[in-house]
Structure 1
Amino acid sequence: MTLTLYTNPMSRGRIARWMLEEVDAEYDTILLDYASTMKAEPFLSINPMGKVPTIVQNGQTVTECAAICAYLAEAFPDADLAPNSDERAAYYRWLFYAAGPLEAAITNRSLGVVPTDSQQRMIGYGSYDTAVDVLEKAVAAHDHIAGNRFTAADVYVGSQVIWGLQFGSLPDRPAFADYADRLKARPAYARAGALDDALIPVAA
């Protein structure tokens, strides 16, 4: 079995790296830069969007961070990060919520896009405030996003929260801070961060 991570340490590739460390996978890393290798062959044949992260396992390509997290949870069942029957609904709900409505709300806000009342009925997240309030209730309900056990959904949702607090795209609320602290204490999170931090001078 071969598994390759295409990434840049100053990107969402850090999410895929964290997930790979959580499942204890053996993988190769190919470092890409934004100006050249990410937007040229051979990478464009792998991911025509020219975006990272991308993983390739045995010739099969997976892009999009939420998909990578879900895929790796299934590909490495011994890590026990896929949902059980009681967790499945919340797992998929919040994984796709973070990748869809929440991501759109945060991105639009960062671009200065504020939908009017009538436009809010047309867009998936309604308003930024609503999207954030819903996320806050979700992370406060249990120790982890799908219940009391860490799953692959926490890697993606947790990354959104950790980065949101770090860069100010999410408000600093106790529920977010507590959730982020629980996740940052995980050994795999620390390992992944150290690996990516070490690559920053090479990628810069």
Structure 2
Amino acid sequence: MSEITLYTNPMSRGRIARWMLEEVGAQYTEKVIQYGPDMKGEYLKVNPMGKVPAIVHGDQVVTECAAICAYLADAFPDAGLAPPVDKRGAYYRWLFFAAGPVEQAVTNNAMGFAVDDPQKQGTLGYGSFALTQDTLAKAVSGDGYVAGPDFTAADIYVGAQVNWGIQFGTLEKKQEFIAYAQRVTDRDAYRRATEMDNALVAAQAG
């Protein structure tokens, strides 16, 4: 297979894409894109939104972290990070629940936007922040993973959202979130990816 190029910045969701790449064991090169003119220059040919991460794999360009996780799980099936096609209900459900309702609810709540009218909440994709957070907590409760007993690509995306949420205070420090974050990040691939991105942060600061 063609080598993968990862366009990233260590202070971004690019950390999710790198974690996924480390989990599947893919060979890849990184191109660090700085915030500001770099993201709005030549890089727009890769992602017209001017944001990271993105991956280029042969002639395939993939943006959006949930899509990157799903793509790489399929492109590298030997890693076992996607269930069989006929067992993917929960896998797709929670992967895209986190990419849609959770992302919207957390962002709006952090910015102080709330809709209290129950009828108007029905027009939102997530209803309310409380409902979305409680639903997510139930999904990650127990001793397994979000799509069942096995760790999957969905846990990389959902796990990153939960881990950041409790670190930066955009999610409540519910016991379900804390325990789940500990489970999903207790992996060699996560540690490798984190070390690489932390080294990039240190280099930029120095």
Fold shared, TM-score > 0.5 on shorter chain: yes
Structure 2 Cα separation of the partners of residues 64 and 128 of structure 1 = 22
CA contact (8 A) 1:87 1:146 kept: no
Aligned match of 2:88: 88
One-letter identity of the residue aligned with 2:102: L
CA contact (8 A) 1:15 1:155 kept: yes
Aligned match of 2:24: 23
Aligned match of 1:64: 64
| CA deviation after TM superposition for structure 1 residue 76, in Å | 0.5
4+ residue runs of structure 1 moved beyond 4 angstroms?
none
Aligned match of 1:148: 149
| CA deviation after TM superposition for structure 1 residue 201, in Å | 3.1
| CA deviation after TM superposition for structure 1 residue 148, in Å | 0.6
State the SS of the aligned residue for 2:163.
helix
Q: Does 1:125 align with 2:163?
A: no
Aligned match of 2:34: 33
Structure 2 Cα separation of the partners of residues 116 and 158 of structure 1 = 28
Aligned match of 2:191: 190
Per-residue CA deviations over 1:105-140 (Å, capped at 9, x if unaligned) read 000001110113132011010000000000011001
TM-score by length of structure 1 reads: 0.96
Structure 1 Cα separation of the partners of residues 73 and 23 of structure 2 = 9
Give aligned-pair identity as a percent.
Answer: 58
Structure 2 Cα separation of the partners of residues 85 and 40 of structure 1 = 39
CA contact (8 A) 1:32 1:203 kept: no
CA contact (8 A) 1:19 1:155 kept: yes
| CA deviation after TM superposition for structure 1 residue 141, in Å | 4.4
State the SS of the aligned residue for 2:26.
coil
Per-residue CA deviations over 1:23-55 (Å, capped at 9, x if unaligned) read 0110000001111211111x1011000010000
Structure 1 Cα separation of the partners of residues 185 and 78 of structure 2 = 22
One-letter identity of the residue aligned with 1:175: E
Aligned match of 1:161: 162
Structure 2 Cα separation of the partners of residues 198 and 15 of structure 1 = 16
Structure 2: tracts of 5 or more residues without a match: none
One-letter identity of the residue aligned with 2:20: M
State the SS of the aligned residue for 1:140.
coil
| CA deviation after TM superposition for structure 1 residue 162, in Å | 0.3
State the SS of the aligned residue for 2:20.
helix
State the SS of the aligned residue for 2:52.
coil
Aligned match of 2:73: 73
State the SS of the aligned residue for 1:14.
helix
Structure 2 Cα separation of the partners of residues 90 and 109 of structure 1 = 26
Structure 1 Cα separation of the partners of residues 19 and 45 of structure 2 = 25
Length, aligned pairs only? 203
One-letter identity of the residue aligned with 1:49: M
Structure 2 Cα separation of the partners of residues 27 and 39 of structure 1 = 23
Structure 2 Cα separation of the partners of residues 67 and 174 of structure 1 = 28
Structure 2 Cα separation of the partners of residues 191 and 21 of structure 1 = 7
